[in-house]
Amino acid sequence: MNFWDSSAVIEAHDSSSELKPRFENLLRQRTRHAASRLILPEVVSGLTRRNTDAARRGKVVQEVLEVLDYFLLHAVTDARLDEAVELVRRDGLRGCDAVHLATALAVARETGRKGFVFVTRDKEQAAAARKRGLRVLGT
């Protein structure tokens, strides 16, 4: 399973990113793709802010929402928020990054870590994920 952070999904849909092909290839993998439900507003916001052309912005946002329709999106529960607070305290992560990682850690515990990959562009988040035993791609 590839568990995605918003940063990586945004890179896969940002035409100005030199890493776009790498993330597009990850999205094409025949594996389950998952994320926290928080990914929806974060990705739409990130892509909207990066695309100043309204027509292009609308097309990109529609494309990414169609891609995310195929993701298994996991709820942000109270327990995951509590774990996110601990990630912020211990690793200094930004709030949303901690929520994504806390959700990934919970899913990894529930499904087993075999074949579980955390996909992110954020270096601090990647370091915190590795510290907790997750395999990380993207940084």
Q: Average pLDDT of each block of 10 consecutive residues along the chain (139 residues)? A: 96 88 91 97 92 86 94 97 98 98 97 92 97 94
Task: Output the domain CATH number for residue 38.
Answer: 3.40.50.1010
List strand residue ranges (DSSP E) for the chain, in order. Answer: 2-4, 33-36, 72-74, 117-119, 135-137
Residues 103 and 74 sit within 8 Å (Cβ to Cβ): yes
Assigned token pair, 138: 């993207």
For 37-63, the pLDDT digits (tens) are 999 999 999 999 888 888 888 998 999
Say how many domains are in the chain.
1
What domain range includes position 35? 2-137
List the Cα angle 132/124/76 in 5-degree steps: 65
Amino acid 53: pLDDT: 85
Sheet holding 33-36, edge to edge: 72-74, 33-36, 2-4, 117-119, 135-137
